[in-house]
Amino acid sequence: MHVFHVTSEVYPFSRTGGLADVLGALPAVEATLGMQLSVLSPWYESLNGEPELIWSEGGLKLGQIVRNNVRHLFLQTPDFLRPGMYHSDDVWRFSHWSRSVFYALERADIDFDLLHGHDWVAGLVIAHATLRGKPSVYTVHNLQYQGRWNGPDAMPWTGLPWDMFTHLGIEHYNSLNPMKAGLVYSRFTTTVSPTYAREITTPQYGEGLEGVLQELQAQGRLVGIINGLDQQRWNPRTDLAVSPYSDYAGKQASIAALRGEMQLDDAPILACVSRLVEQKGMDLLLAALPELLQHWNVVLLGNGDSALESAFYGWAHQSNRFRYYTGMNEPLSHRLYAGSHGFLMPSRFEPCGLSQMIALRYGSLPIARATGGLIDTIPADTGFLFEEPLPEALAQAAQQARAVIDHPQVWAQRVASGMQLDFSWEASAHKYQNLYQRALSQG
């Protein structure tokens, strides 16, 4: 079985967040199950790697890099010859990119059995695959981002026939909706946790697509499969970015090192590594800081909303217990996971989340909102969950954690339980393999 993943980013070649981490790990594990694996993503100007050119024509280029028994393919169109990854004209850019996918693959003599598309960027590729009789599975990593655009303007960009622009197809309130294309034209839709699969069928989390998702659920075509974690990349026992350790006693060296690096006082340390957006509850963290900083040091790494960035910069200058670092800094993120006592994830919704898995593996106990994949991965006797998306609820959960940390033996037991959890990809990869076989059997 040749499975062909399509994504907008894949670690280590292009990355802005968790989607890239998933595509960097899952296909490699699937390859160990006897499947043939390819991953297609854009050939960005800033790509971290030098693909071998295997086909070109006009302004199109197709290159490849083989890594961990996975063939990574990179398609470049003229629209991607610019710095960075994502831009304001992405619906137009990815529409052109999607219509070029099969043109390039067919001329490079590349075929596959099943397409596995990820998020809205792959939705139009799934529509093109349907026209060619190719079966597909579609994964929603974040329903909020759908790639919607005015339909009459955007349809000509896609190269798709107008008879697909209906309420049963890719039309959504007179808009082109690539996310909906992936939902309706794939044989199965997965989400990245069982709880999120249930949540998105409700108006609260369905982002306007709850009706479509309810229908998929009724048809047995909506499945929740929890994401795994690359446990070689995130392993405190072998992590050279920190002082390697295997228990809470060993973690003390990393806590002391972080305290010294950040010039923090003796209060316990909370860390947060996140995009600064409303979805991640960063406004809740901002509002809760006055209470949190009475009992904790807080270190934040991330960027995003400019108003939130400015506010956190202000707090960094105002409080000796708050540190803020901007941008993507993976070495620092390793030190934060290793050197913190607790980890903040006040998300309004969280399809799966990887940070809480990393935090548990590194012995940093999550203080997180009870939603989506956070419910599925944080045991109640290990982390600290709160129900309402309110700063007061976040602060109260942090107070509960602070009370427990005053009992070192109890805290150490929680840390030990978290560090022993298995977040490997193997179980999820088997579930995807079974789903692929079900999708192919429907042909």
Residue 251 confidence (pLDDT): 97
Give percent of the chain with pLDDT exceeding 90: 97
For residue 16, what pLDDT is reported? 87
- At residue 221, the pLDDT reads 97
pLDDT at residue number 211: 97
Q: How far is 336 from 391, CA to CA, in rounded Å?
A: 23
Give pLDDT tens digits along the chain (443 positions): 999 999 999 999 999 888 999 999 999 999 999 999 999 999 999 999 999 999 999 999 999 999 999 999 999 999 999 999 999 999 999 999 999 999 999 999 999 999 999 999 999 999 999 999 999 999 999 999 999 999 999 999 999 999 999 999 999 999 999 999 999 999 999 999 999 999 999 999 999 999 999 999 999 999 999 999 988 889 999 999 999 999 999 999 999 999 999 999 999 999 999 999 999 999 999 999 999 999 999 999 999 999 999 999 999 999 999 999 998 798 999 999 999 999 999 999 999 999 999 999 999 999 999 999 999 999 999 999 999 999 999 999 999 999 999 999 999 999 999 999 999 999 999 999 999 999 999 86
Provide the token pair at 251. 């973690």
Q: Look at the alpha carbons of 98, 102, 108, 110 in this order and tell me if their dihedral is positive or negative.
A: positive
Burial group, residue 185, by CB count within 10 angstroms (0-12, 13-18, 19+)? buried
Statement: 2-228+425-441 belongs to CATH 3.30.10.20: no
**Burial degree of 207 (CB within 10 A; 0-12, 13-18, 19+):** middle
Question: Can you read off the two tokens belonging to residue 280?
Answer: 């991640």
Q: Buried (b) or exposed (e) across 88-110, using 16+ Cβ within 10 A?
A: eebbbbbbbbbbbbbebbeebeb
For residue 357, give the nearest of 394, 383, 339, 396 by alpha carbon: 383
Q: Is 404 exposed, middle or buried (0-12, 13-18, 19+ CB in 10 A)?
A: middle
| Domain residue ranges of the chain, discontinuous segments joined by + | 2-228+425-441, 248-419
Q: What is the rounded distance in angstroms from the CA atom of residue 222 to the CA atom of residue 208?
A: 16
Count CB neighbours of 178 within 10 A. 30
The architecture that CATH gives domain 248-419 is 3-Layer(aba) Sandwich (3.40)
| 3 state SS of 36 | strand
pLDDT tens per residue, range 120-166: 999 999 999 999 999 999 999 999 999 999 999 999 999 999 999 99
pLDDT at 369: 98
Q: What integer pLDDT is reported at residue 209 of this predicted model?
A: 97
Side chain identity at 379, as an amino acid letter? P
Backbone angles phi, psi at 153, to 5 degrees: -75, -40
The answer to whether the 2-228+425-441 and 248-419 domains have the same CATH topology is yes
